[in-house]
């Protein structure tokens, strides 16, 4: 997670404590994926062990002393989607975003490590069959929290969403009418970097947000063997 200053240049406050105690605007949360059925069937064993809430112990192949790594938070394979949402501090980032700060939550890891599952949960088992609420990912939980929070603000807030993919230095609008096409990235003093002609859709309900998310998902990684980034803003 990352938070940056607001458009008027004010610094973000209440910085997170880094692994060594220093303040940092970036908080790293490590989630250990449970071993798959195939891995267990092959008799494989995990080399990762969570020691406490912030330390990961790694057992090197072939023996040798364990190596310890510290993070903002460490979650083992038994943790739920709700545990991940809470550990990532998304509500705090949401409060900062509503005050005008730029905040980002993203996942990083190798293919098959659980990035998409963490963000959006498992895919629906069949058309029209919703994903159980307990398995909802960070994005759905953030949508729900944000919409509820907006109802209690003193000033009215308009929620707009965009969805794009970055691959091979090209940007495509996943919410465009028709097939996505490359769009130029521009910069201005007023806006900073932005994507020209990127579609912004006003959303007033969870259903509308989820519909947009599902609209863009079929295009993500379609021609890029999943080696792409798909920011939702």
Alpha-carbon distance 27 to 12, whole Å?
14
Strand partners, 101: none
Tens-place pLDDT, residues 89-146: 999 999 999 998 889 999 999 888 899 899 999 887 666 677 889 999 999 999 999 9
Residue 115 labeled ligand binder = yes
Residue 216 labeled ligand binder = no
Q: Is the pTM of this model over 0.85?
A: no
**3-class SS at 220?**
coil
Residue 197 labeled ligand binder = no
pLDDT given for residue 12 in this prediction: 42
Alpha-carbon distance 121 to 139, whole Å?
9
What is the pLDDT confidence band of residue 14, given thresholds at 50, 70 and 90? very low
Structural domains of the chain sorted by starting position, each given as residue range(s) with its CATH number in brackets: 2-157 (3.40.850.10), 159-233 (no CATH)
Residue 114 labeled ligand binder = yes
Segments of 67-200 assigned E as strands: 67-70, 73-75, 102-104, 160-161, 164-167, 170-173, 182-183, 185-188, 192-195
pLDDT given for residue 213 in this prediction: 86
Cα within 13 Å of Cα(74), Cβ side: 17
pLDDT given for residue 219 in this prediction: 55
Provide the mean pLDDT of the chain. Answer: 84
Residue 118 labeled ligand binder = no
Alpha-carbon distance 80 to 31, whole Å?
10
Asked if residues 119 and 142 have their Cβ atoms less than 8 Å apart, the reply is no
Tens-place pLDDT, residues 167-189: 888 999 999 887 778 899 999 99
Residue 109 labeled ligand binder = yes
């Amino acid at each position: 997670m990352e938070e940056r200053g607001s458009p008027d240049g004010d610094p973000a406050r209440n910085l997170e404590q880094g692994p060594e105690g220093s303040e940092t605007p970036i908080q790293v949360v490590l989630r250990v994926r449970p071993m798959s059925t195939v891995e267990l069937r092959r008799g494989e064993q995990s080399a990762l062990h969570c020691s406490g809430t912030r330390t990961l112990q790694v057992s090197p192949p072939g023996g040798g002393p364990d190596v310890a790594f510290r993070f903002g938070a460490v979650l083992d394979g038994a943790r739920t989607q709700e545990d991940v949402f809470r550990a990532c501090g998304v509500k705090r980032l949401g409060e900062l975003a509503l005050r005008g700060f730029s905040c980002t939550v993203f996942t990083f890891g190798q293919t098959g490590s659980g990035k998409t599952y963490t963000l959006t949960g498992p895919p629906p088992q069949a058309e029209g069959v919703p994903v159980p609420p307990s398995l909802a990912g960070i994005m759905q939980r953030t949508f729900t929290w944000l919409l509820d929070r907006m109802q209690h603000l003193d000033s009215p807030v308009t929620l707009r969403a965009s969805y794009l993919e970055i691959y091979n230095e090209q940007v495509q609008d996943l919410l465009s009418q028709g097939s996505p096409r490359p769009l130029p990235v521009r910069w201005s003093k007023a806006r900073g970097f932005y994507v020209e002609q990127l579609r912004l859709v006003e959303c007033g309900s969870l259903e509308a947000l989820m519909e947009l998310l599902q609209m863009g998902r079929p295009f993500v990684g379609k021609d890029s063997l999943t080696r792409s980034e798909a920011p939702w803003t």
